[in-house]
Amino acid sequence: MDIKVSHETFFRKQLLRKLMDKTLDVAVINNLFDLNVLNDFEKDLQDFPQDLNLEDGYFFPLPYSSIRMDHGNKQDAFQAYRDSYMNLSQVVSAPLNQISKRFIEIIEREGGCKPLLVFDNIKLNPMGFRVLFSNKQGIDIHCENAFLNQLELKFKKQLFEKVDLENAISIFVTISAPEIGGGLTIFDKEWENVKINMNETSYEERHDSEGAMFVNRQLSKPKRYKHPCKTGEAIVFRAAQMWHGIEKIEGSKERISMGCFIAKGKDGAYYYWA
């Protein structure tokens, strides 16, 4: 299968439609934000990750992938994420708040998406920040469907009742690119044909960009689409289905991105969450 890629200047509902129809796999949008906003943010960044004392790859704060079966009380977990989100907005700089607000505006106005509510009134966080440190893990090769088996059951059921979760789209924007690495690799392997649960893979497989994860399971060597990491650029792609990963980074800067997931609701509207 050839991976279908388009290059865009805007984020539009029409683009989401193509990704959901699977007539498109990946869209690259250059300059989702005004670069002046990002420059201000970069100047302000010096002590951002240090202050927050984040762990590598910490998805901040991300209930979707974190309300797990082993979490104990789901309500506490939601509360913890809400508190950490409040902390984040108090600690971080005005430029970051500006960027988050602009991101949500784009998702809602241009993409025509609504926030996803679960259990009737719990609003999932609108977006997550992902901070990847130099010489650490990057983001392991995964597809979002590959960790659904680890989600807390009632939470998972809610998500499935509300949206077409298994065909969710991811949009992320790089707000600070690293000096080296941090690129996205997407494989031509899809969950509907290749069902490997994340917790049944090894660290080595999850970091082999040649696709050992597939070859080790008697599947063909994957074709890949590789896209370098660039500040200001957004990537929208069929993340729930298509296997993908973020390569490790080097140099003195961390990679910071923000993003969310979007899926078609059972009522036909588009919903976003993180």
Specify the residue, 145 or 158, whose C-beta has the smaller distance to ligand AKG: 145
Subset of 162-181 contacting ligand AKG (CB under 6 A)? 170, 172
Q: Which is nearer to ligand AKG, 201 or 267 (CB)?
A: 201
Should residue 246 be labelled a site residue for ligand AKG when binding is judged by CB under 6 A?
A: yes
Q: Does 11 engage in binding with ligand AKG (CB under 6 A)?
A: no
Instruction: Check residue 259 for interaction with ligand AKG (CB under 6 A).
Output: yes
Span interacting with ligand AKG, options 187-195, 196-204, 210-218, 239-247, rule CB under 6 A = 239-247
Question: Residue 77 or residue 258: which is nearer to ligand AKG going by CB?
Answer: 258
- Within positions 42 to 101, which residues make up the interface with ligand AKG, using CB under 6 A? none
Find the angle CA(34)-CA(258)-CA(30) to the nearest 5 degrees: 40
Residue recorded with tokens 């990750």: 49
Q: Which is nearer to ligand AKG, 154 or 226 (CB)?
A: 226
Residue with tokens 């060597």: 221
Task: Select from 257, 270, 271, 273 the one that contacts ligand AKG (CB under 6 A).
Answer: 257
Residue type, 84: S
Contact between 240 and ligand AKG per CB under 6 A: no
Q: Could you tell me the smallest distance in angstroms from the CB atom of residue 143 to ligand AKG?
A: 8
Q: How far is the CB of 185 from ligand AKG (least distance, A)?
A: 10
Q: How many residues bind ligand AKG (CB under 6 A)?
A: 10
**Sites of contact with ligand AKG (CB under 6 A):** 130, 139, 144, 170, 172, 239, 244, 246, 257, 259
